[in-house]
Structures are given as structure tokens and as C-alpha cells.
A and B are shown apart, each in its own frame.
Chain A
Amino acid sequence: MNWRRFWAVFVCRNREFLRDRSTLTWNLLFPVSLIAGFAFAFSGSGLDLYKVGVLGNTNHWQGSAFFSTRYIHFIPVTDRSIALSKVERHQLDMLIDPTGRRYWINDEAPKGYVLEQMLRGVDATTTPIFSKQTVSGRGIRYVDWVMPGVLAMNMMFGCLFGVGYVIVRYRKNGMLKRLKATPLTPLEFLAAQVTSRLWLTLATTIVVFAGTDQFIVFPMHGSYLDLFVVFATGAISLISLGLIVAARTTSEELAAGLLNLLSWPMTFLSGVWFSLEGVHPFLQQCAQLVPLTHIIDAARAIMMDGAGLGDISGHLLALMVMSLGFMAAGAWLFRWE
């Protein structure tokens, strides 16, 4: 390993990335707007979980406490048959006729069933069997829960495409061939690509985190340093995965296809958007093979439960083992042409 050659490639790769304004903007704007979008969509009264059509005059609504339930959007309707077909198509979860004291639901619709239970329960006169208890501690908003996932997902796209796709582009346009004709070794070249992408990814992730934290104020019960360690280890594993795709592929289309093939199932399995609690055990096993799962689980544990490095050592170990495996495979498979 000749450090002068490594440094030369590293510096030029950084320049290319930092001067490519559109990619740089995208790398920052995409996660920021996603997080901001979630914060907005799931804040305050903006969130309605159910849609209920109400037939007839609004004055009749006063009769039942059901109509003041939060998170239900009550929509006045006039034409019963149109409204009923909407119930059939899941556009409305329930249709209610206060005057006739009747309601309709679609027996196939889970939301309809839940509404029905509520409608019956709210107006029950019997003493409740269960007494209500409140969850102690600060409630976790959806945006708090989803934010580590969005950051990790953004990192995944940056790492996979920033290494996988870029090296394939260099190969296709002949740049790798030109480099092959110099004393530069594959190890020096790959190390420079990985290092450059690693620090750039971590820097953009920090900027996005700090920037959105100004407005949304995420809970942070653990240490920022631990969180950084998780993201750094995670980025290395994702970059290494990108190296495997880049090792031999000669067409940009194929590279993009392979990278999408990797990133979308990873996004699903790692639980960026929703918890995998309760899905088929086989899928949960698969999720353990995905680096993104370990990054997100570890980051959530640190931020929301105040976990320390010891608590998440299993995740870190998994990430390190994957990184070593991917990197060895990528370097072994790599060809200049």
C-alpha cells in the first residue's frame, strides 16, 4: 500500500463528490425532506386513522359521544348508495345514519370492525371492566421512531450507489483502464474509494441529523459517540456491500438493477417504516442477515432506550463480521476491466 497514490485518488474522489452540486444537494435534501414530511404528517391533529361517512343533517350528530372521538374524520354524505359503494371499496371505513340509528361496515375491512367495536363500546352504559392506565415517561412520536431508519436508509443509498454505481461508471467509461495502466494497485484504489465515501457519508449524516434536530428535537437517551460508532460501522458494511456489486459489473444498468434489488428488500426487512413485530419468523430471520437491520435497531436502542455500546455489541459484531466478509469478497472479485 503506497499512501501517496492512495491519497491522490482519495483527494480527487472527494473533489468530484463535493463539486457535484446536484448529487450533494440530493444527499442532504432527500433525508431532510423525508424527516420533515413525517414530522408534519404525524403531528397534532393532522392524523386521522379512520374515515366515517355520516348521512343526513349535522344536527343529529349531537346524540352520540362517538362523534367526538379523536383521530376519526367524520365526513357528511348525502347519497347513501354512493357512500355504500365507498364503504365496499375501503374508501370509507364506516357509514353511519344517526337518524335511523343504523350503520354499515364492510365485513372484510379491519378498520370497519375496529370502528364497530368502538361505536358499541363508547355508548355502553355498563361500568368498564378495564380501568385506564397511562404509559409513563415521554411518549415516542412516530417521527422519533422513524428518524434513525431514514438516516440509515439514506446512508444505505449513498454507500451502495456512491461506491457500487460510481466504480461501474468508471469501468464503463474507461477510467479504470487508464488507472490500470499506472502503478496504482486495486487495493489502493478501492481503499481510497471506501474512505472517501465513508467520511462523506458520515459528514452528510451528521449534517442531516443536526439540522433536523434543530426543528424536531429528537429524544436522545444514549451517547452521541455511541451513535456515531454505530453509523460508522454500518456505513463500512454498506460500502463493502457496494464493492461486491462493483467488482465485475460492466454495465451501469445492470449495476443499478442489482443495487435496487439489494436496497429495496433491505429497506423492507430492516423495519425502516414499520416494525417487523409479528411478521413471519422466517422474514425476521432474514432481517438479521441485513446490515441495515442492525444499524437501525442499534441506533433506535441508543436514542430511545439509552442503550450503551455493551447493550448493542451483538449488532456491532454482526456489522463487523459482514463488513469483513463483503470487503474480502469485493477485493477478491475486483477486476479493472
Chain B
Amino acid sequence: MTALLETCRLVKHFHGVQAVDGIDLAIPPGCCFGLLGPNGAGKTTTVEMLEGIQKPTSGTVRYRGEPLGPRFRQDIGIMFQSTALQDHVTGRENLWMFGNFYPRALPVAELVETCALGEFLDRDTRKLSGGQRQRLLLAIALVNDPELLFLDEPTTGLDPQARRNFWELIHRIKARGKTVLLTTHYMEEAYHLCDEIAIMDHGRIIAQGTPRALLAAHFDDVVLQLPLADFPNPIPLSSHTVIQGRDTVEILTRDVNTAIEELLARNISLARLQIRPRTLEDLFLELTGRELRS
């Protein structure tokens, strides 16, 4: 299958800062691709080069096998990490304006339906909540019914409820067969939405694959979590990796039965025991030695 969007040795420097340091990507049609990484990893710089907004220092971007041209501009929808809209203009008027930029635009009613704009469509855009704003910006990105949609940290700054609502919208867009490129620093979001992810750090991709395959390739253990308060001091487990947090203790084990037997043998209460699978957060920590959100 040929890639819809493809990059080759993509590099971007800013006065000595190596923001993007040689990235090769191939995004197949219909895929929801996630670029995952901490703040400053180079996600925005990378997507903006893919969007044709920033010029790469070196390397190429190809859309359907060709360099980015006017056709590309008509086929894509973009939601930037931050965008201002004109003051004193309503959501409906914004959709009208952006719709007129394209040869063909989706009917406003359909966008209102897809992005749940109903109750604030005719309000001045300055009077919208964070979640409402993001939904309107998503609707604007969808106005030309794009083949390829770019979303740069679409849920950063939203509360958990608004974030889940937003995920629901992205599921709907995926269901319509669109290709989506999403950046985020929420591992959970990437796990939830993306068919494939690339983890970025310091301008490079340090791991790439489907979320499940990535976790399976790096981990064959699970995590037992217990409150620190339930442990006598010092923590007396030797046969497993033990990570002591501020108020929890995490035991990494391939053999849950033995670990639990060992805990019971030391009279540690299992009343508050939790067992969780390894997450992308753990993977990032494993790959870089740093927490994703510091």
C-alpha cells in the first residue's frame, strides 16, 4: 500500500536549535497516526513541515508521491496548536468564510452535527469555553471535507470530560475513512485513538509501531501497585524490580503468582493491591529515562 504522506530525512534547525533531526515517516491512507512526545520534542515543527507551513532545512515531504502543491492545500484540514479567530465574528460566520476558500465545502448543518456546535454556533468566538473553541476549530479544519486532517495537541488544556468528548469526535471522523495525523503528549490519548504511533524525543523518532506492538515488544511484565503505607520499612522484596514512588510502591513482575506469594509471606496486606498492564508512559520512561510529563 502506498503512503498518503511520506517524509524523507526531514530536518529543521532554528539558530543552533536542532528542532527536528532527520525524520522518516510514511502515513498510509485511512490511518490515525500519532506523534507522541514531551513538550519541546519537535512535534509541532514536524507537523508544520508536513502541512507545508514551515520549510524544512533539508529533506522532503511528499503527498500521494508528489511534492506539496496547490492540490495538497485543498485536500487538507489543519487544527494548529493555537489559533486566533477574528474578533466580533461568530462560529457560523467563520465556517462561512473558511468554506468560501475552497471549491467545495461541507454544509454547515453537517459540521454542526459532527462537531456538536449547536448551542454556541451564533456566539462571538471570544465567548466560547476551551472545549467549545476546540470543537469550532475542528469544524473549521473539516470545512473542506479534507482527505488528510492534522491535529496538533487538540486536547491540551481541556478538562478530562471535554477531552473524552473530543475523542468521540475524532472517532467519528476516523469512521468516515479520513486520514488523521495527531500530536499529543497524553499517552492515554494516543493509545485510545491511534492506529500507529511514533514516539519523539529531541527531534528524533525513538520508537514506532502500533501501540500494542510497541508495548509487547518492550515489556513482558505487569505492574503490581500498593500504597507505600502498607509496607514495613525498608521494603523487603528482592526477587523483583521495585520502584518506590512518593506514596505508592510498584513491583514489576513477569510472574504475578510468585510475587503475590512473596508479599503474603511477608504479611503485607493485599487489600489495596492493583494490577495494571504496562503503558506508553512506562515505555517513554524506559526509552529515555525521563518521565513524559515533568
Contact = CB atoms under 8 A, between A and B. Distances in A.
Interface string B90-114: 0001101111111000000000000
Contacts of A183: 70, 73-74, 101-102
Given A177-B83, A178-B83, A16 B89 contact: yes
Contacts of B53: 177, 180-181, 337
B142 to A, nearest CB: 13
B89 A4 contact: no
B86 interface: yes
B96 A8 contact: yes
Given A182-B73, A182-B102, A12 B89 contact: yes
A12 B91 CA distance: 12
A11 interface: yes
B97 A8 contact: yes
Contacts of A180: 53
B196 interface: no
A65 to B, nearest CB: 64
B84 A174 contact: yes
B80 A16 contact: no
Contacts of A184: 101
A174 B82 contact: yes
A9 B97 contact: yes
A4 B99 CA distance: 10
Interface string B9-29: 000000000000000000000
Contact of B97 (A12, A20, A170, A181): A12
B226 interface: no
Nearest to B124: A19
Nearest to B96: A8
Interface in A14-29: 15-16, 19-20
B87 interface: yes
B85 interface: yes
Nearest to A9: B97
B144 to A, nearest CB: 8
A175 interface: yes
B293 interface: no
Contacts of A181: 51-53, 73, 76, 78, 80
A20 B87 contact: yes
B5 to A, nearest CB: 15
Interface string A3-47: 011011101110110011000000000000000000000000000
B88 interface: yes
Contacts of B52: 181
Contact of A173 (B70, B74, B84, B89): B84
Contacts of B97: 8-9, 11-12
Interface string A165-187: 00000100111011011111000
Contact of A177 (B80, B85, B87): B80
Contact of B88 (A5, A9, A15): A15
A170 B52 CA distance: 20
Given A173-B84, A175-B83, A182 B89 contact: no
Nearest to A181: B78
Contacts of B86: 12-13, 16, 175
Given A177-B80, A182-B73, A183-B74, A5 B100 contact: yes
Nearest to B99: A8
Contacts of B78: 178, 181
7 pairs of A and B residues whose beta carbons are closest in the complex: A173-B84, A8-B100, A19-B88, A182-B101, A8-B97, A181-B78, A16-B88
Interface of A: 4-5, 7-9, 11-13, 15-16, 19-20, 170, 173-175, 177-178, 180-184, 337
10 contacts: A12-B86, A12-B94, A15-B89, A16-B89, A173-B84, A177-B53, A177-B83, A181-B73, A181-B78, A183-B74
Interface of B: 51-53, 70, 73-74, 76, 78, 80, 82-89, 93-94, 96-102, 140
